[in-house]
């Protein structure tokens, strides 16, 4: 999973900025309760007076205070005198004032009023509160508009709150911008890396991974990673910052109540974890059951004819029903487990508020904290709890994403087993196209037995070499070795005397016109599919080739002709038509070697025969290699090779083989009914 | 094909991260719309009417739970006020904090919250049972329907679409019922309740809180609209990219053979780029929802703080009221966001439900005859009389087909691809009904039988050897559910399958895997033959039963089929003419009509189409 982060490198700088922005956001978010507590404490309770130091004071009063201050604090005080007239002195209280100075001043103020007995053994908070009430009294004497003072303070603080909330939303939106760009960009990079990687794979890698799994890895798994990148940027960084920041501020307000938050978090996590550990394994089971449900339904659909022919509709319904019941029961269990979560979480959060008020009110009464601080504390507590909830959700999501990450890395770290050599042999301009197998042995990756053993033959230009044998005898395997879809395990294959492993793969393949066993067409039109063989082909080329491949008739019948749209996998044309289009595609290529891997099976005998005759005319001078099931298809080949269990058991012409090869005779008999 | 479709369906970006991520995520974003919203929803309501009482109970608990949740902050606020005034009095030296009252108030609040949690749990509990039950019923109905729909429906639909109705669409409906429905109820009551509570505290502050409401609604609505646009774009891009991936991976060999790597990668990059663009935009916009909601919420919070502070000075409200108000404003945002998104969620649900109902509404096979004929001792005589048929009435496949087949005859049907050979047997088994003409079995029009009764006369062996994920024993027993193990084994012996079954691990109890790929094609075919033997039908249909197996296995299967065909009327369709030379009657079809009929030798003598077809396989043309 971590390995995937290297694809995010181009986004390192924006992500660092995002972290900075998140830090800013957390701070602004957390400052809000603080401002609110100021409104309550200072604005309402203290009438808008922040410090127990008046901004203006009668000179007579000031003298009394100065008397009660020690030298250091006296100097401090004198430093912040702004100006004075005969009656009163103005003091600058907007600058930075040390806590000690504030308390000392407050004490001095109280002592100057001969109220020393009030503060004996009292908490600093109480001293400040009394100091503030003295300031208020002083202001009243001086005739200052107390209402204006109070409302100005509230408006000022409110304005700050608005500013903070604006900064917060700007940060959040910017982080969202960076996060989504990073997530989508990282996903794009990973997706294209995988795709390029898979395109470089040989058939061996496709066998080990399976096509379906490669598709999911390139699609769903990448989407998972994209989501998780976004989540990491948005939540994994934000939540701890919020939690820690909230905790620090909460402790600043009331260190003695920290345990309440700790307790709530522990209870909450215990509940989330235990609910999840009950539900999680069931999630997996649900997935299995959904797969099972799909399987049963798919079996029913693919076997519709059989189901109806044997009157087993009821049986199929029951089969579906039993999985459906299992699935429903499991889903019900999960839902019922999960519905406990929300009410319990709400209860814990509300319970926490109540507990804070209860414990907090005792503290307030003792003068350890103010009411506004308690209210702020509740909000910090909620933010801390939220951050833990966010994190626990991330940890529910992460394991799933890390599975996806692992699957992606597996693909990226796999190297194609077939690679070009560093220095490849160039092919001469004019090649003959002679293919020679010398003692070729081949074993599929992970296979236990050799699929081919010591195969030797020469396929000469101007001749047809045909392979026949039962399923699994290795016919297709042989022809798949020629374009290097797999590499031989031992022995060698040469093209005009050059070992094909010394050639560049693309050069090698450009000399081969290949018709695979599975006739895959790509979505597009008939024309685009044919041009896949040669993108520079002209209309005349197309016309000429489809006449050879016996496709012209059905193409002519389509209204759109060559522009007839082909759906994905070519499902909208019949098997026989698909086969003929695949043959045309290969013929479009000006190759030296043509390989037909069981390419005539879906054709009826007549079409098959005509096609072969046309082929003889158009590519008779090339090397032709045919794999076939039917004897009829190949009986005129110059060379027929009979395979059994990966070994050559007969080699020669039809006539020769009928004399010498018992396997061939067996096949010919069963198909042609020729007893002679 | 079906599997690919599943994959594409699953690719819907699942962004809903549940609680904490705020409302409006994921669900409801895709902007799908039902064609007939009202009709679909009322029909869904019809499905729910069975649970009327339960739903009324749910609504009751939802209201009660919401109500207690809403009263809580107000009482808690009173506790704070008591503390605050007590404190001020204490500072003035004129009184003490009334802890007794505070403790009562707090205990009361706790009670309310406890009740609320309990009720909300009960509500969830009941609602999940309703929604899972409806889900179960919908799936069951689909499964039942699957086997009632005429086959021509399936010619036009791919399996993936049907499967996605069973899983994805039903799931969407389930989610709405279990979550969104309770959400809607509680959201509405929360909004109303909170409004009442706010008003009871102070109308000016309520007004301030509501000033932000249109702002909140408007912003959310705008974001949803914008992000829907990009979600759709993203959906399309994902479709393109995934389509290309599936296609290229599926055709990897062809791509390699034609050196198509570069072109393929180039094409992929354009898809990937447009996916990137729509992906980040949709994610950005949907991710903006939460911060913006919070922002609007915070504006409310600030307004309350300022106004509350101002009013508190004027002694119009208390400090506890400010606290309660702040909690209310916070409670307010989420339901508003949810309500703003409701129409989208409902639309999406309706779209999903509509697809389910569409499937359930497909016209069924024409109903059975009211007065069915019984056919207990079937002889196996078959007659086609001037049969006309087309899958699509405008393009006839079978034109005026007539043939009479005596009991016990082996009939071979040959002809080029597309001649209508398979269609004949599908008509015979009444998978499709003839357009005109009639088909008689033992002298009775097949439409006078019930389908079950008619099909009891037949057994089929098809080219595509369909088996299912179960043991070999059960797969053979599929032919006759009442057969004993011994009878199954006898059938396997007759099908020459007994021997190879014994060589398999677990023998008859070996479980075929999900792709039924753990035995060979030939072995599968032998099992389907055993299955047909066990069914012991009067009429047998073999449609290209050996064309996908190699010649050696074919010999074995041929023997098995000969056993099977003994004393039965059989219809054999085959490409390989060698397999049908010994048929009693060969029907040569071309373009939906019989052009020649007779035995192998008779037909060869005619030197017509058949003999041309037959000789072409020896390539005597050149």
pLDDT score at A673: 55
SS3 state at B386: strand
Residue A58, pLDDT > 50, answer yes
Contacts of B117 (CB under 8 A, 6+ apart): A343, A344, A346, A347, B65
CA distance A612 to chain B (A): 9
> Is any Cβ of chain A less than 8 angstroms from the Cβ of B617?
yes
| Domains of chain A, first to last | 28-154 (no CATH), 435-672 (3.40.50.300)
Which is more confidently placed, B394 or A462?
A: A462
Q: Directed axis angle between helix A124-142 and helix B52-92, to 10°?
A: 70
CA distance B343 to chain A (A): 24
Instruction: Give whole-number Cα distances, A34 to A42, B25, B516, in Å.
Output: 11, 31, 67
SS3 state at A174: helix
- Percentage of residues in chain A having pLDDT higher than 90: 27
pLDDT score at A502: 92
CATH architecture, domain defined by B372-457+542-550+573-622: 3-Layer(aba) Sandwich (3.40)
For residue range A377-409, list pLDDT tens digits in order. 888 898 888 888 888 878 777 877 888 899 899
Q: What chain A residue is nearest to B86 in terms of C-alpha separation?
A: A365
For residue range B89-112, list pLDDT tens digits in order. 877 777 788 888 999 999 999 999
Instruction: Report whether B384 contacts B439 (CB < 8 A).
Output: yes
Phi then psi for A634, rounded to 5 degrees? -115, 0
Residue B469, pLDDT > 50, answer yes
Domain B36-201 matches domain B372-457+542-550+573-622 at the CATH topology level: no
Confidence of residue B5 (pLDDT cuts 50, 70, 90): very low
pLDDT score at A420: 86
Residues 404 through 423 of chain B touching chain A, CB cutoff 8 Å: 416-418
> What was the ipTM of the complex prediction?
0.81
Per-residue pLDDT, averaged over B432-451, amounts to 88
Instruction: Give whole-number Cα distances, A328 to B130, B170, B403, in Å.
Output: 11, 12, 52
CA distance B353 to chain A (A): 18
Q: And the tokens for B535?
A: 């069914």
Across the interface, do A181 and B280 touch by the CB < 8 Å criterion? yes
Confidence of residue A493 (pLDDT cuts 50, 70, 90): very high
Confidence of residue B375 (pLDDT cuts 50, 70, 90): low
C-alpha span between A59 and A44 (Å, rounded): 28
Nearest CB among A342, A523, A636 relative to B247 is that of A523
For residue range B548-570, list pLDDT tens digits in order. 566 666 777 777 777 778 888 98
Find the range with the poorest average confidence among A333-347, A431-445, A615-629, B164-178.
B164-178
Closest CA to A335 of A290, A388, A383, A282: A282
Q: How many Cα neighbours within 13 Å face the side chain of B571?
A: 28
pLDDT score at B2: 36
Per-residue pLDDT, averaged over B250-277, amounts to 90
DSSP string computed for B106-122: HHHHHHHHHHHHHHHHH
Confidence of residue B24 (pLDDT cuts 50, 70, 90): very low
Residue B521, pLDDT > 80, answer no
Across the interface, do A361 and B83 touch by the CB < 8 Å criterion? yes
Determine the Cα angle at A388 with ends A387 and A389, to 5°: 90
pLDDT score at B21: 32
Across the interface, do B295 and A196 touch by the CB < 8 Å criterion? no
pLDDT score at A326: 94
For residue range B29-65, list pLDDT tens digits in order. 455 677 888 888 888 888 888 899 998 999 899 889 9
Answer left, alpha or beta for residue B26, where phi above 0 means left and psi between -120 and 50 means alpha: left
Per-residue pLDDT, averaged over A180-202, amounts to 93
CATH topology of domain B36-201: ABC transporter transmembrane region fold (1.20.1560)
| Domain limits, chain B | 36-201, 203-316, 372-457+542-550+573-622
Residue A585, pLDDT > 90, answer yes
For residue range A530-560, list pLDDT tens digits in order. 998 888 889 998 999 999 988 888 888 888 8
Chain B positions touching A351 (Cβ under 8 A) are 110, 113
Across the interface, do A673 and B550 touch by the CB < 8 Å criterion? no
Confidence of residue B4 (pLDDT cuts 50, 70, 90): very low
Nearest CB among B84, B284, B431 relative to A180 is that of B284
Across the interface, do B552 and A470 touch by the CB < 8 Å criterion? yes
Per-residue pLDDT, averaged over B287-297, amounts to 80
Q: What is the CA radius of gyration of chain A?
A: 42
Confidence of residue A675 (pLDDT cuts 50, 70, 90): very low
Confidence of residue B221 (pLDDT cuts 50, 70, 90): confident
Chain B positions touching A520 (Cβ under 8 A) are 250-251, 253-254
For residue range A314-370, list pLDDT tens digits in order. 999 999 999 999 999 999 998 888 888 888 988 998 899 899 988 988 888 887 888
For residue range A167-176, list pLDDT tens digits in order. 999 999 999 9
The continuous run of DSSP H or E covering A436 comes out as strand A435-442
pLDDT score at A437: 94
Phi then psi for B586, rounded to 5 degrees? -110, 125
Mean of pLDDT over chain A:
87
Instruction: Report whether A433 contacts A592 (CB < 8 A).
Output: yes
Instruction: Give whole-number Cα distances, B579 to A668, B458, B554, B557, in Å.
Output: 13, 21, 10, 11
Phi then psi for A468, rounded to 5 degrees? -140, 155
For residue range B344-358, list pLDDT tens digits in order. 778 888 888 888 898
Residue B20, pLDDT > 80, answer no
C-alpha span between B432 and B447 (Å, rounded): 11
Find the range with the poorest average confidence among A390-399, B164-173, B611-620.
B611-620
For residue range A138-165, list pLDDT tens digits in order. 888 888 888 888 888 888 888 898 899 8
pLDDT score at A185: 93
pLDDT score at B576: 67
Residue B7, pLDDT > 70, answer no
Instruction: Please count the other Cβ atoms lying within 10 Å of the Cβ belonging to residue B593.
Output: 16
Nearest CB among A166, A315, A347 relative to B113 is that of A347
Residue B8, pLDDT > 60, answer no
> Is any Cβ of chain A less than 8 angstroms from the Cβ of B114?
yes
Confidence of residue A635 (pLDDT cuts 50, 70, 90): confident
Residue A303, pLDDT > 70, answer yes
Q: What chain A residue is nearest to B415 in terms of C-alpha separation?
A: A604
Instruction: Report whether A592 contacts A431 (CB < 8 A).
Output: yes
pLDDT score at B160: 73
């Amino acid at each position: 999973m971590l390995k995937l982060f290297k694809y995010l490198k181009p986004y390192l700088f924006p992500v660092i900025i995002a972290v900075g922005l998140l830090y800013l956001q957390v701070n602004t978010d957390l400052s809000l309760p603080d401002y609110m507590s100021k409104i309550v404490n200072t604005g309402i309770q203290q009438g808008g007076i922040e410090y127990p130091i008046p901004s203006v004071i009668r000179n007579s009063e000031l003298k009394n205070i100065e008397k009660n201050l020690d030298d250091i604090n006296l100097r401090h005080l004198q430093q912040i005198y702004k100006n004075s007239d005969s009656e009163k002195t103005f003091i600058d209280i907007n600058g930075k004032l040390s806590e000690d100075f504030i308390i000392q001043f407050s004490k001095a103020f109280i002592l100057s009023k001969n109220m020393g007995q009030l503060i004996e053994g009292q908490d600093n908070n109480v001293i400040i509160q009394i100091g503030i009430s003295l300031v208020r009294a002083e202001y009243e004497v001086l005739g200052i508009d107390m209402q204006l003072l109070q409302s100005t303070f509230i408006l000022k603080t409110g304005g700050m709150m608005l500013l903070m909330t604006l900064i917060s939303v700007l940060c959040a939106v910017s982080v969202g911008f960076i996060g989504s760009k990073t997530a989508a960009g990282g996903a794009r990079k990973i997706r294209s890396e995988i795709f390029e990687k898979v395109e470089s794979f040989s058939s061996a890698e496709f066998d080990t991974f399976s096509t379906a799994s490669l598709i999911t890895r390139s699609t769903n798994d990448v989407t998972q990673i994209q989501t998780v990148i976004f989540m990491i940027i948005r939540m994994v960084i934000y939540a701890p910052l919020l939690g820690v920041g909230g905790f620090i501020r909460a402790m600043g307000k009331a260190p003695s109540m920290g345990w309440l938050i700790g307790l709530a978090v522990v209870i909450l996590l215990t509940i989330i974890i235990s609910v999840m550990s009950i539900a999680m394994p069931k999630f997996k089971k649900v997935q299995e059951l959904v797969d099972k449900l799909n399987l049963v339904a798919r079996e029913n659909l693919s076997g519709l004819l059989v189901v109806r022919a044997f009157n087993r509709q009821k049986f199929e319904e029951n089969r579906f029903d039993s999985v459906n019941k299992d699935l429903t029961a499991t889903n019900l269990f999960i839902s019922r487990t999960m519905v406990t979560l929300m009410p319990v979480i709400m209860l814990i959060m509300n319970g926490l508020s109540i507990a804070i008020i209860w414990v907090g009110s005792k503290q307030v009464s003792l003068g350890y904290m103010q009411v506004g601080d308690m209210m702020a504390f509740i909000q910090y507590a909620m933010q801390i709890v939220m951050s833990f909830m966010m994190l626990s959700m991330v940890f529910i999501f992460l394991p799933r994403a890390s599975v996806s990450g692992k699957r992606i890395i597996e693909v990226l770290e796999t190297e194609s087993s077939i690679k070009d050599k560093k220095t490849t042999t160039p092919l001469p301009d004019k090649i003959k196209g002679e293919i020679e197998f010398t003692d070729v042995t081949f074993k599929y990756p992970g296979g236990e037995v050799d699929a081919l053993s010591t195969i030797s033959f020469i396929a000469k230009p101007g001749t047809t070499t045909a392979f026949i044998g039962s399923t699994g005898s290795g016919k297709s395997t042989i022809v798949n070795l020629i374009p290097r879809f797999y590499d031989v395990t031992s022995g060698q294959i040469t093209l005009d005397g050059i070992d094909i492993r010394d050639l560049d793969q693309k050069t090698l393949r450009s000399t081969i016109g290949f018709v695979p066993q599975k006739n895959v067409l790509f979505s597009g039109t008939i024309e685009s599919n044919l041009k896949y063989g040669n993108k520079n082909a002209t209309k005349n080329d197309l016309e000429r080739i489809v006449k050879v491949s016996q496709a012209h008739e059905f193409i002519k019948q389509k209204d759109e002709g060559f522009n007839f749209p082909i759906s994905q996998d070519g499902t909208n044309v019949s098997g026989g038509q698909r086969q003929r289009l695949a043959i045309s595609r290969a013929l479009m290529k000006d190759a030296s070697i043509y390989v037909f891997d069981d390419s005539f099976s879906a054709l009826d005998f007549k079409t098959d025969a005509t096609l072969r005759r046309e082929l003889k005319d158009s590519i008779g001078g090339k090397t032709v290699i045919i794999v076939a099931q039917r004897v009829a298809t190949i009986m005129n080949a110059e060379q027929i090779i009979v395979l059994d269990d990966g070994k050559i058991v007969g080699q020669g012409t039809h006539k020769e083989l009928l004399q010498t090869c018992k396997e061939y005779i067996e096949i010919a008999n069963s198909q042609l009914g020729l007893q002679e | 094909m079906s599997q690919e479709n599943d994959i594409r369906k699953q690719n819907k970006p699942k962004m809903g991260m549940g609680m904490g991520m705020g409302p409006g995520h994921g669900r409801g974003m895709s902007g799908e719309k039902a064609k007939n919203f009202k009709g679909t929803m009322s029909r869904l309501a019809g499905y729910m009417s069975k649970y009327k009482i339960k739903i009324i109970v749910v609504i009751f608990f939802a209201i009660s739970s919401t109500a207690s949740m809403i009263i809580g902050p107000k009482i808690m606020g009173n506790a704070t006020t008591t503390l605050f005034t007590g404190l001020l009095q204490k500072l003035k030296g004129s009184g003490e904090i009334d802890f007794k009252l505070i403790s009562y108030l707090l205990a009361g609040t706790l009670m309310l919250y406890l009740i609320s949690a309990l009720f909300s749990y009960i509500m969830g509990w009941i609602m999940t049972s309703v929604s899972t039950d409806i889900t179960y019923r919908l799936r069951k109905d689909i499964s039942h329907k699957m086997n009632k729909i005429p086959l021509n429906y399936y010619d036009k639909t791919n399996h993936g679409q049907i499967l996605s109705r069973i899983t994805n669409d039903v799931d969407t409906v389930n989610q709405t019922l279990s979550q969104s429905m309770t959400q809607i109820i509680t959201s509405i009551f929360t909004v109303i309740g909170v409004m009442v509570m706010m008003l009871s505290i102070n109308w000016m502050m309520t007004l301030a809180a509501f000033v932000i409401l249109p702002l909140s609604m408007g912003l959310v609505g705008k974001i949803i609209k914008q992000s829907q646009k990009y979600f759709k774009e993203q959906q399309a891009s994902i479709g393109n990219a995934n389509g290309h991936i599936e296609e290229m991976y599926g055709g990897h060999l062809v791509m390699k053979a034609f050196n198509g790597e570069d072109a393929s990668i180039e094409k992929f990059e354009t898809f990937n780029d447009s996916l990137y663009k729509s992906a980040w935009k949709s994610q950005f916009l949907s991710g903006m929802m939460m911060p913006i909601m919070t922002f609007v919420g915070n504006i409310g919070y600030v307004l309350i703080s300022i106004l509350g502070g101002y009013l508190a000075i004027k002694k119009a409200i208390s400090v506890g009221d400010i606290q309660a108000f702040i909690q209310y404003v916070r409670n307010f945002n989420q339901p508003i966001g949810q309500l703003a998104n409701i129409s989208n969620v409902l639309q999406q649900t309706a779209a999903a439900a509509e697809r389910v109902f569409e499937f359930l509404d497909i016209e069924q096979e024409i109903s059975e005859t009211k007065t069915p004929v019984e056919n207990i001792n079937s002889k196996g005589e078959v007659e086609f009389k001037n049969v006309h048929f087309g899958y699509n009435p405008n393009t006839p496949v079978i034109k005026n087909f007539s043939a009479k087949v005596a009991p016990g005859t082996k009939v071979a049907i040959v002809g080029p691809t597309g001649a209508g050979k398979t269609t004949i047997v599908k008509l015979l088994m009444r998978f499709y009904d003839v357009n005109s003409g009639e088909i008689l079995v033992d002298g009775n029009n097949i439409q006078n039988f019930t389908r079950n009764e008619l099909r009891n006369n037949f057994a089929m062996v098809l080219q595509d050897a369909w088996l299912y994920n179960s043991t070999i024993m059960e797969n053979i027993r599929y032919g006759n559910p009442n057969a004993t193990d011994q009878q199954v084994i006898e059938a396997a012996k007759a099908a020459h399958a007994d021997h190879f079954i014994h060589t398999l691990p677990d023998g008859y109890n070996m479980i075929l895997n999900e792709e039924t790929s753990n035995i060979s094609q030939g072995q599968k075919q032998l099992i389907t033959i055993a299955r047909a033997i066990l069914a012991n039908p009067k009429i047998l249909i073999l449609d290209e039963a050996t064309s996908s197996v190699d010649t050696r296995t074919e010999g074995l299967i041929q023997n098995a089929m000969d056993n099977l065909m003994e004393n039965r009327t059989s219809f054999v369709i085959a490409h390989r003419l060698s397999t049908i030379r010994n048929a009693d009657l060969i029907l040569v079809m071309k373009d939906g009509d019989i052009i020649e009929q007779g035995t192998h030798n008779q037909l060869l003598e005619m030197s017509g189409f058949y003999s041309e077809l037959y000789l072409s396989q020896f390539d005597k043309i050149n």
